[in-house]
């Protein structure tokens, strides 16, 4: 190893900055109650196939009479971000440190047993890899879609018993099997160990069991609900440990009339949970949150061996991240096989000599630091053990420096600060240190616990010290894995190579990956056909912390996906379809766009048009339908024909529909093989017709459903005031109902001499001395009005009520 001249910082001691949990926040939303009785809700008109949206009523005065609907529309709260990725405690084992360790726990006495010697260093330029993110498509589905019925079977899950040394356990992650799992603030529990992360298996008790289960005698306040599919009111009540009537009441107050057997979709479940301050988590989010827990499990304990640290470099733009990476690599390559062609695989390994002259490896992730944190963490994976924060000595702490600090802190990843560009005259390392103290990073020499190493990336100054510090921090970090098992880890990046097919760079986090292994990465299944290391050389195996590029997957997984090796293809295939199913379900839950959901978005001003893709048998049909659609009134909701063509419905049409929130119409045509499955996967609803009028009726109904309902006045009856009776301080009008009827709590207008002297609510309605609900024409009654006493004999009373009315398209 080349030693750099400057060794001034050799005395630095490593301390792992352990920043733990990200605080969980939950929006407490005010629960609005309708104050008066609301006895009926006018149901939205039922459509032949397209469902109209739930009625929306404007906010008006709260005092109502029975048939008046008053409601506040509220947005469904966003699904809270995963909050379970971070945690606080890593189990420590006995360890003999080679150097004094301030602020550290006892360590395990173990040296690195690196059984992969295939990898060494060669030259080449390490580019900056972009992590590919999965494409998220919006989905189209109809409310009537009963796909959900089939979605309740795949969810049993056992959470692996986490004895995570490399990955902290999750205090907040819900565990559960069956259709749903709720976590109470008292009774969190972990299920039995599972061999597979992401958890197949489980108890299999499922929804049925949860339905049969008796309601606990003393319900606990549920904090989090894992939703795996639509639930009936009964099931939701059971999961939330509340009475069914509570849910019915809350939905009723929002204008949604349900009974206990009614199935609620994700949006409605979220609405109820939001009111109850219960966090809703989808199954996918939950399994993402659990991923890091599953890296090590009980069976690994007896075979733990040290693994190299995985390091990411972060920092402000132009502070020297790339130069530092290159410099570290070149230095190392210079010692070895300089001139070799280095394959870019998004990660590379560097041999570092420790104090006692032993060679240890450090793995650098060649991924922009922020992406390594955000993209990976967003998917529940944590791949980085240590972050190097590069701060230019001549520039100091800048916005991205601060951002990087927050990322590392949030992820609980220890930081080593590289104060770079020390070769510059304008370098002011003390200023940098001072600035960093404002963010809780205090250098050791100032009494803090953060390692800060002045370096020059450009001339390699003090890089050896930096690497040594990394090793020391790694030692503190308890980085162990079990190489004697089947591999599991995380996809660093993946793409589709024209010649080689799907290519993925995998970081092995536990076990050893071998050529020939049956592998499942995300939901991409395959058999490892070849593995290539960062020197571009084929290798037969990759042990923990090693990154290799693999060939042999049938699909391209997403960066951040977890991968795992299975004994048999059958086993992997079962989990693959389970994962695909879960992902689809989650998409359906979160992204499904039914016609009524579209209409809700229209009402929120989010959507102005109804997108349509039309495939018909022949061009003549296409033209006829297009012409007819054009004639539909479009003042309020516009139809946008994204595609109108003859032919069968293809996968491309599905993609387009999914990407554009479009309704896909097939007229007298067929659906190509594969397209049906694609539609299913994407949650796109193909609406098929062979009678043009049905098609037009449905589209018109859907457009009308997108219009906000009107609040209209409905006349009830007329009455005349014939006598006035003082009752206490107020006065009651003795009336004769001339036509129609008066209803308690209806609205009334009092007319006198051609003038309206009062407009308000009828407060009390009596026949003789009894309170009654209504009085019909030809009968006498006594009435009192809210805030009105000034009755005169001869006053004419006009009774009416406000009702919501579905609007029709204005022509």
Ligand X SMILES: Nc1nc2c(ncn2[C@@H]2O[C@H](COP(=O)(O)OP(=O)(O)OP(=O)(O)O)[C@@H](O)[C@H]2O)c(=O)[nH]1
Give contact residues for ligand X (rule: CB under 6 A). Answer: 315, 317-323, 420-421, 423-424, 456-458
Q: How far is CA 678 from CA 313, 592, 650, 656, 784, in A?
A: 40, 14, 9, 11, 64
Q: Which is nearer to ligand X, 423 or 435 (CB)?
A: 423
CA dist 7 and 461 (Å) reads 9
Q: Give least dist CB 74 to ligand X, A.
A: 43
Burial of 528 (0-12, 13-18, 19+ CB in 10 A): buried
Q: Which is nearer to ligand X, 378 or 458 (CB)?
A: 458
Q: Give least dist CB 451 to ligand X, A.
A: 18
First to last CA, the chain: 82
Nearest to 416 by CA among 371, 478, 463: 463
Q: Give least dist CB 455 to ligand X, A.
A: 7
Q: Is 339 labeled as ligand-binding?
A: no
Q: Which is nearer to ligand X, 203 or 323 (CB)?
A: 323
Q: Is 366 labeled as ligand-binding?
A: yes
CB atoms under 10 Å from CB of 2, counted, come to: 11
Residue 521, helix vs strand vs coil? strand
Q: Give least dist CB 459 to ligand X, A.
A: 7
Q: Which is nearer to ligand X, 326 or 704 (CB)?
A: 326
Q: Which is nearer to ligand X, 424 or 485 (CB)?
A: 424
Strand 796-805 vs strand 755-767: parallel, antiparallel, or unpaired?
unpaired
Q: Is 608 labeled as ligand-binding?
A: no
Give Cβ neighbours of residue 755 (< 8 Å, ≥ 6 apart): none
CB atoms under 10 Å from CB of 727, counted, come to: 10
- Residue number of the CB closest to ligand X reads 320
Q: Give least dist CB 562 to ligand X, A.
A: 29
Q: Is 20 labeled as ligand-binding?
A: no
Q: Is 368 labeled as ligand-binding?
A: yes
Q: Which is nearer to ligand X, 321 or 758 (CB)?
A: 321
CA dist 302 and 163 (Å) reads 12
513 forms beta bridges with 542
Q: E strands, 74-188, where?
A: 139-140, 180-184
Q: Is 87 labeled as ligand-binding?
A: no
Q: Which is nearer to ligand X, 26 or 400 (CB)?
A: 400
CA dist 215 and 164 (Å) reads 34
Q: Give least dist CB 313 to ligand X, A.
A: 8
Q: Which is nearer to ligand X, 289 or 419 (CB)?
A: 419
Q: Is 369 labeled as ligand-binding?
A: yes
Q: Is 153 labeled as ligand-binding?
A: no
741 forms beta bridges with 776
Q: Give least dist CB 342 to ligand X, A.
A: 18
Nearest to 19 by CA among 367, 467, 407, 471: 407
Q: Which is nearer to ligand X, 420 or 590 (CB)?
A: 420
Give Cβ neighbours of residue 599 (< 8 Å, ≥ 6 apart): 52, 53, 702, 705, 706, 707
Give Cβ neighbours of residue 552 (< 8 Å, ≥ 6 apart): 519, 526, 527, 528, 529, 530
Q: Give least dist CB 422 to ligand X, A.
A: 7
Q: Is 316 labeled as ligand-binding?
A: yes
Q: Is 690 labeled as ligand-binding?
A: no
Q: Which is nearer to ligand X, 242 or 457 (CB)?
A: 457
Q: Which is nearer to ligand X, 435 or 688 (CB)?
A: 435
Q: What is the dihedral of CA 228, 234, 240, 244, to 10 degrees?
A: 150
Task: Annotate 523-560 with DSSP letters as a single string.
Answer: TEEEEEEEEE-TTS-EESEE-TT-EEEEEEESS---TT
Q: Give least dist CB 421 to ligand X, A.
A: 4
Q: Give least dist CB 316 to ligand X, A.
A: 7
> Ramachandran region of residue 407, left (φ > 0), alpha (ψ -120 to 50) or beta?
alpha
Q: Which is nearer to ligand X, 22 or 319 (CB)?
A: 319
Q: Give least dist CB 408 to ligand X, A.
A: 16
Residue 811, helix vs strand vs coil? coil
Q: Is 622 labeled as ligand-binding?
A: no
CA dist 617 and 390 (Å) reads 62
CA dist 376 and 509 (Å) reads 14
Q: Which is nearer to ligand X, 185 or 406 (CB)?
A: 406
CA dist 204 and 245 (Å) reads 29
CA dist 468 and 123 (Å) reads 21
Q: Which is nearer to ligand X, 457 or 642 (CB)?
A: 457
Q: Is 315 labeled as ligand-binding?
A: yes
Q: Give least dist CB 493 to ligand X, A.
A: 18
Q: Which is nearer to ligand X, 158 or 420 (CB)?
A: 420
The beta-carbon contacts of 318-322 under 8 Å, at least 24 apart in sequence, are 318/392, 318/395, 319/390, 319/391, 319/392, 319/395, 319/398, 319/401, 319/420, 319/421, 320/390, 320/392, 320/420, 320/421, 320/457, 320/458, 321/369, 321/390, 322/126, 322/128
Specify the residue for token string 């069956």. Answer: 178
Radius of gyration of the chain (CA): 34
Q: Give least dist CB 491 to ligand X, A.
A: 24
Q: Is 620 labeled as ligand-binding?
A: no
Q: Is 484 labeled as ligand-binding?
A: no
Q: Give least dist CB 371 to ligand X, A.
A: 12
Q: Is 19 labeled as ligand-binding?
A: no
Q: Give least dist CB 404 to ligand X, A.
A: 11
Give Cβ neighbours of residue 640 (< 8 Å, ≥ 6 apart): 609, 610, 611, 612
Task: Indicate the annotated binding residues.
Answer: 315-322, 366-370, 420-423
Task: Indicate the annotated binding residues for GTP.
Answer: 315-322, 366-370, 420-423
């Amino acid at each position: 190893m080349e030693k750099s001249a400057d060794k001034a910082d050799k005395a630095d001691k490593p301390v792992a900055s352990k920043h733990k949990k990200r605080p969980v926040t939950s929006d407490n939303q005010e629960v609005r109650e309708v104050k008066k009785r609301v006895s009926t809700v006018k149901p939205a008109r039922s459509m032949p196939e397209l469902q109209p949206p739930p009625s929306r009523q404007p906010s008006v005065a709260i005092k109502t009479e029975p048939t008046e609907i008053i409601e506040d529309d509220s947005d469904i709260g966003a699904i809270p971000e995963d909050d379970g990725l971070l945690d606080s405690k890593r189990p420590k084992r006995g360890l003999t440190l080679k150097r004094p360790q301030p602020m550290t726990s006892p360590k395990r006495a173990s040296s690195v047993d690196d059984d992969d010697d295939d990898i060494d260093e060669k030259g080449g330029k390490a580019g900056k890899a972009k992590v590919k993110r999965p494409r998220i498509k919006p989905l189209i589905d109809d409310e009537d879609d009963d796909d959900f019925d089939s979605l309740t079977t795949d969810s049993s899950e056992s959470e692996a018993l986490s004895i995570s040394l490399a990955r902290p356990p999750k205090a907040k992650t819900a565990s559960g099997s069956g259709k749903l799992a709720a976590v109470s603030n008292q009774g969190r529990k972990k299920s039995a160990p599972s061999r597979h992360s992401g958890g197949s298996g489980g108890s299999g008790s499922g929804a049925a069991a949860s339905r049969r289960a008796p309601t606990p005698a003393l319900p606990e306040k549920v904090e989090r609900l894992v939703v795996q599919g639509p639930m009936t009111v009964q099931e939701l009540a059971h999961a939330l440990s509340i009475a069914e009537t509570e849910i019915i009441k809350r939905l009723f107050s929002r204008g949604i009339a349900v009974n206990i057997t009614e199935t609620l979709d994700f949006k409605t479940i979220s609405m109820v949970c939001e009111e109850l301050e219960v966090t809703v988590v989808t199954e996918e989010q939950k399994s993402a949150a659990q991923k890091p827990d599953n890296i090590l499990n009980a069976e690994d304990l007896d075979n733990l061996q040290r693994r190299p640290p995985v390091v990411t470099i972060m920092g402000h733009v132009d502070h020297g991240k790339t130069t530092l990476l290159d410099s570290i690599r070149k230095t190392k390559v210079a010692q070895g096989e300089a001139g070799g062609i280095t394959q870019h695989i998004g990660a590379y390994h560097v041999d570092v000599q420790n104090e006692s002259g032993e060679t240890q490896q450090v793995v650098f992730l060649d991924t922009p630091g922020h992406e390594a944190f955000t993209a990976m963490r967003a998917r529940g994976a944590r791949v980085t053990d240590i972050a190097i924060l590069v701060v230019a000595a001549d520039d100091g702490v800048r916005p991205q420096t601060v951002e990087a600090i927050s990322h590392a802190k949030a992820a609980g990843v220890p930081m080593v600060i590289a104060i770079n560009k020390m070769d510059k005259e304008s370098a002011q390392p003390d200023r940098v240190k001072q600035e960093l103290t404002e963010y809780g990073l205090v250098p050791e020499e100032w009494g803090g616990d953060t390692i800060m190493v002045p370096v020059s990336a450009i001339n390699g100054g003090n890089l050896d010290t930096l690497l040594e510090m990394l090793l020391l921090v790694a030692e503190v970090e308890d980085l162990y894995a079990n190489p004697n098992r089947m591999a599991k880890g995380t996809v660093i990046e993946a793409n589709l190579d024209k010649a080689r097919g799907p290519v993925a760079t995998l970081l092995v986090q536990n076990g050893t990956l071998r050529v020939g292994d049956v592998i499942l990465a995300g939901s991409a299944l395959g058999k490892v056909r070849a593995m290539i290391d960062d020197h571009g050389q084929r290798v037969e195996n990759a042990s923990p912390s090693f990154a290799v590029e693999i060939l042999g997957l049938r699909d391209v997984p997403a960066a951040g996906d977890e991968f795992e090796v299975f004994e048999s293809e059958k086993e992997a295939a079962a989990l693959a379809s389970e994962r695909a199913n879960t992902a689809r379900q989650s998409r359906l839950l979160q992204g499904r766009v039914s016609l009524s959901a579209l209409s809700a978005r229209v009402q929120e001003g989010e959507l102005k048009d109804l997108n349509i893709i039309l495939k018909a048998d022949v061009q003549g049909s296409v033209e006829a339908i297009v012409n007819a659609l054009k004639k539909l009134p479009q003042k309020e909701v516009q139809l946008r024909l994204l595609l109108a063509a003859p032919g069968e419905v293809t996968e491309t049409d599905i993609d387009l529909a999914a990407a554009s929130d479009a309704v896909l119409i097939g007229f007298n045509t067929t659906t190509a093989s594969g397209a049906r499955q694609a539609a299913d996967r994407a949650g796109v609803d193909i609406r098929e017709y062979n009678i043009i009028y049905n098609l037009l009726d449905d589209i018109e109904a859907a457009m009308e459903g997108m219009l906000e309902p009107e609040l209209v006045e409905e006349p009830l009856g007329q009455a005349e005031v014939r006598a006035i009776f003082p009752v206490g301080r107020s006065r009651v009008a003795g009336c004769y109902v001339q036509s129609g009827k008066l209803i308690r709590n209806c609205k009334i207008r009092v007319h006198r001499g051609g003038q309206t002297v009062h407009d308000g609510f009828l407060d009390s309605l009596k026949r003789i001395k009894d309170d009654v609900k209504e009085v019909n024409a030809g009968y006498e009654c006594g009435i009192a009005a809210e805030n009105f006493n000034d009755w005169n004999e001869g006053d004419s009373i006009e009774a009416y009520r406000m009702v919501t009315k579905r609007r029709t398209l204005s022509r």
